[in-house]
Structure 1
Amino acid sequence: MAWLVLVFLLLIPHLSVAKGLAVAKPDCRAKCGDIDVPFPFGIDPGCFLEGFYLNCSKNATDGTYKLLTGNVEVLEILLPTGQVRMNNHISWQCYRSTTRNIDKDTWYFDFRPTRYRISSLDNKFVTIGCDTLSYNTMVNYKNDIYRTGCVSVCYSRESLTNGTCSGIGCCETPIPPGINYYDASFDKNFNSSSVSDFSACSYAVVMEADNFTFSTSYVTGYDFWETHNGTVPILMDWSIADDTCNVANETSNYACVSHNSVCINMQNGPGYICKCWEGYEGNPYIQDGCQDIDECMKNSPCSGICVNTPGSFNCSCPPRTRGDPYSATGCHSIEKTSRWVKTFVGISVGLMILVILSCLVYFVLERRKIATIKEKYFKQYGGQLLYQEMKSKQGYAFTIFKEEELKEATNNFDAKNILGEGGNGTVYKGTLKNNKDVAIKRCKTIDERQKKEFGKEILILSQINHKNIVRILGCCLEVEIPILVYEFIPKGNLFDLIHSCNAPCISMGTRLRIAQESAEALAYLHSWASPPIVHRDVKSSNILLDENFMAKVSDFGASVLVPTDEDQFMTVVQGTRGYLDPEYMLTGLLTAKSDVYSFGVVLLELLTRKKAFLLDKPEDHMSLSSIFLSSMKENKLEEILDDQILDVESMNLINGVVKLARECLNMEGEKRPEMREVAETLDRLRKTIKHPWVQDNLEEIECLLGEPSNNKELEMTSYHSLEEKAMLAMEAGR
């Protein structure tokens, strides 16, 4: 009986009434009718985060309440999953046999721009009816447009089956991720006139998948509309801000303020939500909102003594008993332990030891197998050649990394550390043991030629030392496809600088400087590297910007070393649409002039601030180069130039760059200039600007800060200080 007393004493602290969990902020309404309204949502001023205001409306007739966001009714707020259940209207069309007319009422669902997105996992687009074709036009948070259709047919009442939605009387299609707008409509050539004797109406709607089970009465009658009163539930994902957890955690308005809470990146678009740790419940968006769950009070999981702990619990057997207090068999008296139980325990221990020994042998053999495979890859990719070179050259700044080192640097190649993805591979941000940030590239494929020559080629690339080229710091060769390690360039790339929605104002002088620095890098690869190197994927996203916004050419994943005895050679066509040399695409013959063509497209991006390839244009105007050449031919060049650089003083400079771009884009490679000639031309153009250092940066600062600068003061300031101010202003604009 003594152990029963002990159990009672341990349970005394849990017999008191548990403190209520925080839902809304203090002095804020926590309910609208029967619906809980937890923070970050709120009804009253000061009771919600930006984007989470809700309206609690009272019906004057029956006194009931409705919770609304805009004009859409909110049915339930699911805080732990970051979702809201809302009411969504059903679109319909009905054939009236008496008038031989088709009546219809279609709806669209628009949450642009808000923090809400239609859950792609929990909803589907449903179409009900006979001889019905419905369309669903959708837009995501990036303004990408999708369109899908759903066809439902039936031949008679007997062809319909309850619970089956596979195109007979009912069809359904999934929803892409990130959607925040959809518009349902019906094809006018499909209607129920031929089957109106048993099915007159059709319906289309995006709705919660778990709330829909097909019934034949939805087709033969009006049950679908009447049962749901014209609306059905839809699940919407929501998120806090547009930042990832890593970025948000560094800001002052980080939303996961409760202890014992964790930040989770959203999968259905940008942003994050907060959750309480396992073993805690409540509201992670409120100070001390996540409180410990008393597992011992909630149907105790122990068959013995249960003791609650922060975030968990412990079970133990009472005195003079033994067993498993966590299992259903529970604890039993020591004196009642039978001989067969001891025998069973002995056999179990013996078997466990045998299993452990077998596992150890297996793991040892597997480790040897893995080590053999790694050694094979290391030799295949010329690892011994690199080691010999490193030993023979004192101070050779190149490292051969172990796979485990790079896994540790990237948190096992966590998707949160991805800097960018392309046709050649994925680039991750990593931090080495010496706290140095690096860019780590995992290539996707490697051809047989590269396998044989990899060691030699990487040796040559590692010795490239130019201020405008991203340095390769090392590689990992003990994997199936080698991993490359580059210096980390912190300020992103030229594509994002000139094409992002919040892109800053950039003067012509700065654009010309970035173009010249990039051209110098390519000229070095073509004319002074030994052997010469053709980049093969020149584009604005491969021109990075360092902390001083100096241009650095990157991504040699597609680069080719030019054979010393050949000016051009055959290779598999690689590159990016919009930048590819047409002559190279037709012949497969690669030359340094192919890089010149691609660089000409980059010059057009700097002049026009338009993307190299435009999917929303007619086929003959999809590429920026074709638009440029057509505009020149029609004498309408000013219509495509960026308004920020169009002024009388800059036109001579702009015309010079336009002429150079036209030469680079010549359809015949032989007639294009060498890359070193391009760099020299850009240098001459920069020198034609009056007071080049002061003038470039004066324009840039005025453009970025939106106010005139003091000319006299700027003339007394060095170029480097002006450049630094301009770059800081550009960074603030990003």
Structure 2
Amino acid sequence: MTVMYPVGKDNGKRCSSAFIFSRLYFREAYPLPIGINIETTHVPTTLSWNSSYCGDAGCEPRPGPISLNGEKSCGNVTFQYPFEIIDQEYPNGWFRVICKKTSNGQTTPFLNINGVNLRILDFSFLYGNVVVNHSITCFNCRKNSNNGMSLNLTGTPFYYSDFDNVFWSSGCGNLATIFDRETSNLVGGCLQPSCTISKETSSATGCPFNIPRGLTFFSTNMSGRVDSSNYSRKRSCGFASLIKSDLYFDLTLESNDVDVNNWTYVPTSLQWSTPMSGLCRLRQGINTSCSSDREYCWQSLSSTHLCVCNKKFGISDISTYCEEENCGIYVYCHMLCLNTPGNYCSSRDCPPEYKYNSAGVRCEPDEIVSKGPPKTMQSLTIIIIGCSTSIGTIFLLLGLWKMYEVVKKRRNILLKQKYFKRNGGLLLQQHLSSNTSYFETIKMFTSKEIEKATDYYNENRILGQGGQGTVYKGMLTDGSIVAVKKSRMEEGKKFGEKKVEQFINEVIIFSQINHRNVVKLLGCYLEAQTPLLVYEFIPNGTLYDLIHGQNEELPLTWEMRLRIATEIANALFYLHSAASVSIYHRDIKSSNILLDEKYKAKVSDFGTSRSIGLEQTHLTTQVQGTFGYMDPEYFRSNQFTEKSDVYSFGVVLVELLTGEKSIASKQSDEEISLVSLFLLSMQENSLSDILDSKVANDGLEKEIIAVANLAKRCLNLNGKKRPTMKQVAMEL
């Protein structure tokens, strides 16, 4: 209260008071309360506990009083809680941002950590991290290169993000290693490709690896690779440092070749909090903070934990979907655990009134133990009191039972809808509905049909198990025999996004294939915890079993081997060139070639396959495949082409010629690559030494040599010199 007018002699002792009062207690016509004087110390005031929010659009239930978070910007970066912006050079607090003016009048945000000013490039509240300009840790060809030490985050609430960073080492011919605070403790490392592969290096040449959670300091070293072969021991200039994942993807694209020789800083992500999976929601009556655009809001669960909920999307496998009636519009929720200096949160550090569920791999509210039902003797005593009471109890129980059945049925329907959505059903429908001719050929099976066909997943019905899942033999109601593939899921874990992608990928690819030498997809079932695929049943096992198994009743003649090889080649030629969309199989091996009742080959297992646009010549992916069949050029470059399938087919050809496994054992206990043995025998003109005796006795020498030369061309280390599958099929 401030004096607004000059004080005269008469009113020098005049007093006034200010207060808030309840209009319910003062109903006089005069708008202000009567009977209040300067001696009054208390007046009636109403405190509202109603959790309704009234705005321009009217009143609606809301979590509680909502405050729009005071977002502040410096330069092109916007900050939210717990960060604040100051103009001082030396801030007091870990989350205070220094906003500096540059020579051109622009402002740039900096974060001071242990006396080092780091320029801030980006800020994310949902992911709990801040992106800073971090000096390159190690540069092996620069005179003023760093000493290999990173910024020391020990004793701060920050650590290097394990999911938003990749340790990247650019160049060739170098061995990059990373150690933690003690140089004897190796965190990881990677070996760059040999410089003999390409005389010129680019930003796409190098090697990556992931870091563990909670890393606060590391040292890096780059040295020449140890190479016992006769290759030239050259190595290129390059750097090794922790970089943000987005930059890693940009650097490893050949189309975006960047000169990194003059770089001194790279974007690096620091976690100021730890995102956690937790079953939380915005509760009514609790103070709530929201972003200025109201896209997400958060509430405090404890002094170190927040519940953050979003409107439109979740964060990978961390967010949980709120399905309760009072969830409101913020349905994708996860927890943020705020780090304190030297104490970093783990996924098991749950807030008060929550406990960690190891099966669901998340924090869940403590269950309130309700009182048990009345004892049996008490129930019997109540029934004996009177007939009317017993009849009423019976009707009540019948009503409750009926209600339970209705609720259970409704819950099962909602659960199936949830699984259908989580297993990619909407994505699958979107893809398949774009081509109705394919969509009509794929049937959506019900749970009863699948359970009846597999005898409730009887173990005696299992045909085989692999990395992608388990295959059961089943019989549909029309009597047709089918193979049911149940995708693999680790115990206690959800069916992850990667597994869903592989599953949907296999369905979409199969929907575009119509070839006599490719296994036919009949339908799928998506309303279960793990999705299932239903294929035509192929009765005679795999080519692997036929080659390496002892079957005297059905000898594998040269004519059969040549026919099977031709059928596989025709199928791959169709996938590469003749299908509606070009398809790379990416896991060709003898165990993925099935044999029907007439021992005709059928290519199967498209879980890792990818469809390719007409303008694309390769895929850049994480290395996937089977050791012994994998293209070495793909293993080095992460780029899969149609010639990578050609290489894998070449290994299968050698298996048919020699009868040996892709990783062969010779005389000693040491294992050696079948490809190496074959190429050595071809070089030394001693092919007959490794040929299967049945091949040598049955086959014509001219044909055997032709097939061996074809296999040798398929196994050429330079993919460009390998034939196409069309050429292979025509030659066979």
TM-score calculated relative to the size of structure 1? 0.43
Instruction: Return the structure number with greater helix share.
Output: 1
